[in-house]
């Protein structure tokens, strides 16, 4: 699949096929590799990835967040954290982790997997302390997102969201 097709056709998948083969080590490595390939402010690379395959832990992630219910049925979750000892600016940490998450979503889609981005931020209706304890995250790291991954149990049509009313061309 070419990159523009992947961008146009990627959709958030929240239902997973529990009877399908699990995500392979090679597929997981490709998704993580895509995350590491994302741009990073000042090339600090302050991102850490916590892979959660254990069903009980995924059920906990599903329980502690308002928008993480699908984690229990997926094959794995990847908690993305920014390291404040490597990048002091929470804004830059957020951008670095967001770029990484989008790369991982596109990689999962390109591999025929389903994935969804669950935001982790103040007011996100998620028990952050429980999440950091669950994955063993040190205090200098801040969780900024969760990518839930599995074999898709639903298909969603792509949507053309291009809106020329929001495109502003320079004059002259």
25-63 pLDDT, tens digit each: 999 999 999 999 999 999 999 999 999 999 999 999 999
For residues 46 and 85, what is the distance between their CA atoms, to the nearest angstrom?
Answer: 8
Residue 146 has pLDDT above 80, yes or no: yes
For the chain, list the domains and their CATH numbers.
3-151 (3.40.109.10)
Q: What local confidence, expressed as pLDDT, does residue 164 receive?
A: 95
pTM of the model: 0.95
Q: What local confidence, expressed as pLDDT, does residue 17 receive?
A: 97
Burial of 60 (0-12, 13-18, 19+ CB in 10 A): buried
Q: Which strands form 141-150's sheet, in the order they lie side by side?
A: 47-52, 76-83, 141-150, 114-119
């Amino acid at each position: 699949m070419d990159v523009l097709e992947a961008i146009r056709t990627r959709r958030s998948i929240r239902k997973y096929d529990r009877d399908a083969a699990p995500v392979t080590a090679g597929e997981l490595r490709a998704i993580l590799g895509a995350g590491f390939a994302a741009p990073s402010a000042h090339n600090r690379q302050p991102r850490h990835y916590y892979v959660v395959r254990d069903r009980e832990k995924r059920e906990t992630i599903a329980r502690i967040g308002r928008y993480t219910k699908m984690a229990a049925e997926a094959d794995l979750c990847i908690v993305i954290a920014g390291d404040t000892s490597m990048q002091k600016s929470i804004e830059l940490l957020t951008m670095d982790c967001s770029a990484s998450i989008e790369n991982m979503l596109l990689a999962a889609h390109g591999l025929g997997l389903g994935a969804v981005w669950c935001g982790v931020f103040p007011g996100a209706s998620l028990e952050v302390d429980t999440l950091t304890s669950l994955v063993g995250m040190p205090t200098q790291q801040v969780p900024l997102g969760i990518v839930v991954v599995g074999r898709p149990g639903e298909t969603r049509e792509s949507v053309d969201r291009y809106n020329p009313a929001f495109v502003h061309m320079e004059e002259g």
